[in-house]
Chain A
């Protein structure tokens, strides 16, 4: 399938995977997939959720054994039984969810999983080595810092250094930019560039087209377990081409955006302070307002209080100050108060907070309705009414699942998000707090979510949209507020793409500009 131009065919292949087949019960995750990585290149792997990217990478990283097909590293056949075998062959993977021990230092984490030291632990020496390695590829990390003190971006650097320290020559990064701010992304890209310049290779998994076109030397696109474009030159394709290759149909982000005159103030956050889970201040005297029929976007780098802000408004975190919804102060009240005041919430952690994974779609879809008729009939629970509601929502929001009795955990990320959105929107909220509503969703699904949010706005709902996707905020928000260290640092009343740099600067605490 790969048709590399002849002049480049002489570049040695770091990894070559041929005819990989991997199936899970009911799913053919990889169907005769060929994939190769050259020495010294950044190879981007694009695809929607469920396209089989992660499965392929897990095969390369030794987490899965393929049903058939083989993997060659530097021309030699290999059969990995575990990630340990893969790292021994020079392949290291940085997962979306980091695998660091928060209470240990950077150097200690880097040593984790290595057979050395055999007996005596010389942390000073390790710290020195880690420092050298970091400097070599232009990463700023304090080897003696404890991991819990680091920002998400810094933790990612630790993961990268860890893999390199373990001898990785091919680094697989699974959606590395999802947790980063624009400046951090630029830093990461610079690091990746210097790594490949030194002869290492990078496999960059993403579904963000812009990014991929900016960084990749070659592109491979997957859809439904198959490769739809193998090792193509990014200069030869457009964003639209890639979107079509990923989704299988043309995608046009043609949002129906009607002019809505913002109405009364629905949400007023006044001087709110709150601690995070570690007991450190996360919100410091933050204030903001959201009006009916208005989407207010919050832009911030992870860990600047935006998650806590959503929790404070929805009653999941205690705070000081006032949180007024429709004239009623619900600050530091249980979540029930927020729900009864008409606050809907699309939480950041869909599986962990927004759904009960082992309960049925029915049970999950009525999470906001079970107190009211027709689902509740006195103390009794009307199963038939619940099922009718679930059926209706499944149809209206195109949640694809075998039956409404299936447990929520079998839903794909996009379907689970649709389920949560369906439930929250159907509760006819006066205020919707949506946190990262499109994170991890594929291009087609994102379009749908965006339209749902705009429809809600058109109906006069106040929407607080917290997102790490600046493009998303620019496309949807009537106003953008930038949060930095628990405060609203800047406001952009009519944001446009011209503001990106200024927004990015404020997100990282930079002064001036704007």
Chain B
């Protein structure tokens, strides 16, 4: 008996989503085996994850809070990946975005007491611009000099982290701690709980305006990729850059623009996190959103709305991580999901043939 991989002709349309779902299920099963191996009860653990993430309106709201930066960074990665630009730097762009938004409040760029409806848009622009700048650097290097963007984006993450640390340990440090002073209320993104006076049911819900940014961004990207000339040109570059050049498309310009938008989205995620959740800049502002975003973009097969769904799933895993012991389990499941996804990719193009060699017919 032999097992071999044989190329498929044309994979059916349903195959790829099916394999994605199968990959997630397999990952959960692998997770269950590991849980059982270390003496846990996998069924109980998973039920607990579900309850901790979706059990009631309160935790669902928390899940969405966790999902918000993931959606924005996930979109950032998905957009770049569509053009086969491997932006591994959403983490750094996120940090720069958080820094840019903080700068508005902490330098301060606006006088104290400026009303919310001015401060927040300025923070958004500052965060997006800072993130975009962090994206444009590798974009220009790649477009003009052919420098590998994987290396540059990855390395810039560390630069961004060092940059944040410089500010929170130094000029912006609050009494020597590695964090800044809290932002004034005007710089806080409105949360549902802020409207509890008019809608009592919102009391205690921390879902904030950032989620709206994320959903608007998903909608805008979804329209852009499928309904605009820009989306068509991106499709062409992503599938065959030589054909795109042949069609007269200025690829270098696209590389830079896409890196800028990708960075701006990740930067907006950073802004949303400092403005909506943390309300100050601190050393450990991101638990690795920009890296998780890579897995999310992959899991979503680069579809904007699917990024939203995948982000909620990962938001739930992160949230539940605080609840279950050992808390490394959700991180492990994330890793196994990525692993299974990559393995499943092979099955889209090949099928497994198990059997004896074809018998000789007389």
**Interface residues, chain A, with chain B CB atoms under 8 Å away:** 19, 21, 24-27, 65-70, 77, 79, 314-316, 334-336, 338-340, 345, 347, 349, 352-359, 363, 367-368, 370-371, 376, 379-381, 383, 406-407, 410
B51 adjacent to chain A (CB < 8 Å) = no
Q: Which residues of B contact A24 (CB under 8 A)?
A: 9
- The residue among B236, B244, B246 with the most chain A CB atoms within 10 A of its own CB is B246
**Least distance between B124 CB and chain A CB atoms (Å):** 23
CA distance A12 to B235 in the complex (A): 57
A26 touching B9 in the complex, CB below 8 Å, given contacts A334-B248, A353-B242: yes
Within 8 A of A (CB), among B230-244: 230-233, 235-236, 239-240, 242-244
A69 touching B246 in the complex, CB below 8 Å, given contacts A25-B8, A359-B235, A380-B227: no
The residue in chain A whose Cβ has the minimal distance to the Cβ of B230 is: A379
**Least distance between A32 CB and chain B CB atoms (Å):** 9
CA distance A380 to B225 in the complex (A): 10
A363 touching B232 in the complex, CB below 8 Å, given contacts A25-B9, A381-B227: yes
CA distance A67 to B248 in the complex (A): 46
- The residue among A70, A407, A410 with the most chain B CB atoms within 10 A of its own CB is A70
Q: Are A336 and B358 in contact (CB under 8 A)?
A: no
Interface size class of B (residues with CB under 8 A): 20 to 34
Classify the interface of chain A: helix, strand, loop or mixed: loop
Q: Which residues of B contact A345 (CB under 8 A)?
A: 246
Q: Are A25 and B246 in contact (CB under 8 A)?
A: no
Within 8 A of A (CB), among B205-249: 227-233, 235-236, 239-240, 242-249
B10 adjacent to chain A (CB < 8 Å) = yes
The residue in chain A whose Cβ has the minimal distance to the Cβ of B11 is: A25
Q: Are A67 and B9 in contact (CB under 8 A)?
A: no
**Least distance between A208 CB and chain B CB atoms (Å):** 29
Q: Which residues of A contact B236 (CB under 8 A)?
A: 356, 359, 363, 367
Q: Which residues of B contact A19 (CB under 8 A)?
A: 361
Q: Which residues of A contact B198 (CB under 8 A)?
A: none
Q: Are B243 and A354 in contact (CB under 8 A)?
A: yes
Q: Are B228 and A354 in contact (CB under 8 A)?
A: no
Q: Which residues of B contact A410 (CB under 8 A)?
A: 9-10
CA distance A340 to B248 in the complex (A): 9
The residue in chain B whose Cβ has the minimal distance to the Cβ of A311 is: B246
Q: Are B240 and A356 in contact (CB under 8 A)?
A: yes
Q: Are B243 and A353 in contact (CB under 8 A)?
A: yes
Q: Which residues of A contact B357 (CB under 8 A)?
A: 65, 79
Q: Which residues of B contact A66 (CB under 8 A)?
A: 358
| Cross-interface CB contact of A357 among B9, B233, B239, cutoff 8 Å | B239
Q: Which residues of A contact B246 (CB under 8 A)?
A: 314, 316, 335, 345, 347, 353-354, 367
A336 touching B248 in the complex, CB below 8 Å, given contacts A70-B360, A77-B360, A379-B230: yes
B250 adjacent to chain A (CB < 8 Å) = yes
Q: Which residues of A contact B227 (CB under 8 A)?
A: 380-381, 383
Q: Are B248 and A69 in contact (CB under 8 A)?
A: no
Q: Which residues of B contact A371 (CB under 8 A)?
A: 229
| Cross-interface CB contact of A380 among B10, B229, B235, B243, cutoff 8 Å | B229
Q: Are B361 and A68 in contact (CB under 8 A)?
A: yes
Q: Which residues of A contact B249 (CB under 8 A)?
A: 336
B175 adjacent to chain A (CB < 8 Å) = no
Q: Are A335 and B248 in contact (CB under 8 A)?
A: yes
- The residue among A315, A335, A340, A347 with the most chain B CB atoms within 10 A of its own CB is A335
Interface CB pairs A-B, < 8 A, 19: A19-B361, A21-B361, A24-B9, A66-B358, A79-B357, A79-B360, A345-B246, A352-B242, A353-B242, A358-B239, A359-B239, A367-B236, A367-B247, A368-B247, A370-B247, A371-B229, A380-B229, A381-B231, A407-B10
A352 touching B240 in the complex, CB below 8 Å, given contacts A69-B361, A316-B246: yes
CA distance A313 to B144 in the complex (A): 24
Q: Which residues of B contact A79 (CB under 8 A)?
A: 357, 360
A334 touching B240 in the complex, CB below 8 Å, given contacts A67-B358, A68-B361: no
A370 touching B229 in the complex, CB below 8 Å, given contacts A67-B358, A70-B360, A358-B239: yes
**Least distance between B264 CB and chain A CB atoms (Å):** 18
Q: Which residues of A contact B113 (CB under 8 A)?
A: none
Q: Which residues of A contact B358 (CB under 8 A)?
A: 65-68
B39 adjacent to chain A (CB < 8 Å) = no
CA distance A24 to B236 in the complex (A): 29
Q: Which residues of A contact B248 (CB under 8 A)?
A: 315, 334-336, 338-340
Q: Are B240 and A357 in contact (CB under 8 A)?
A: yes
CA distance A291 to B9 in the complex (A): 45
CA distance A352 to B246 in the complex (A): 10
Q: Are B245 and A356 in contact (CB under 8 A)?
A: no
Q: Which residues of B contact A21 (CB under 8 A)?
A: 361
Q: Are A334 and B239 in contact (CB under 8 A)?
A: no
The residue in chain B whose Cβ has the minimal distance to the Cβ of A67 is: B358
B111 adjacent to chain A (CB < 8 Å) = no
CA distance A92 to B105 in the complex (A): 73
| Cross-interface CB contact of B228 among A352, A363, A380, cutoff 8 Å | A380
**Least distance between A24 CB and chain B CB atoms (Å):** 6
Q: Are B240 and A27 in contact (CB under 8 A)?
A: no
Q: Which residues of B contact A69 (CB under 8 A)?
A: 360-361
CA distance A502 to B9 in the complex (A): 47
**Least distance between A397 CB and chain B CB atoms (Å):** 19
CA distance A381 to B230 in the complex (A): 8
Q: Are A356 and B360 in contact (CB under 8 A)?
A: no
Q: Are A25 and B10 in contact (CB under 8 A)?
A: yes
A381 touching B10 in the complex, CB below 8 Å, given contacts A316-B246, A363-B236: no
CA distance A380 to B361 in the complex (A): 58
Q: Which residues of A contact B240 (CB under 8 A)?
A: 352-353, 355-357
Q: Are A376 and B9 in contact (CB under 8 A)?
A: no
Within 8 A of A (CB), among B165-201: none
The residue in chain B whose Cβ has the minimal distance to the Cβ of A405 is: B13
Q: Are A68 and B243 in contact (CB under 8 A)?
A: no
Within 8 A of A (CB), among B347-362: 357-361
**Least distance between A7 CB and chain B CB atoms (Å):** 28
A379 touching B229 in the complex, CB below 8 Å, given contacts A25-B9, A356-B235: yes
The residue in chain A whose Cβ has the minimal distance to the Cβ of B244 is: A356
CA distance A410 to B235 in the complex (A): 18
CA distance A354 to B361 in the complex (A): 43
A335 touching B247 in the complex, CB below 8 Å, given contacts A68-B358, A77-B360, A367-B236: yes
CA distance A359 to B247 in the complex (A): 14
**Least distance between B353 CB and chain A CB atoms (Å):** 10
CA distance A488 to B204 in the complex (A): 81
Query: Given A70-B360, A335-B245, 6 other A-B contacts at CB below 8 A?
Result: A25-B8, A334-B248, A352-B243, A354-B243, A357-B240, A370-B247
Q: Which residues of B contact A407 (CB under 8 A)?
A: 10
**Least distance between A288 CB and chain B CB atoms (Å):** 22
- The residue among A336, A356, A407, A410 with the most chain B CB atoms within 10 A of its own CB is A356
The residue in chain B whose Cβ has the minimal distance to the Cβ of A70 is: B360
The residue in chain A whose Cβ has the minimal distance to the Cβ of B233 is: A370
Q: Which residues of A contact B244 (CB under 8 A)?
A: 356
CA distance A358 to B8 in the complex (A): 15
CA distance A156 to B232 in the complex (A): 40
- The residue among A340, A355, A380, A383 with the most chain B CB atoms within 10 A of its own CB is A380
Q: Are A356 and B229 in contact (CB under 8 A)?
A: no
The residue in chain B whose Cβ has the minimal distance to the Cβ of A345 is: B246
**Least distance between B291 CB and chain A CB atoms (Å):** 27
**Least distance between B314 CB and chain A CB atoms (Å):** 27
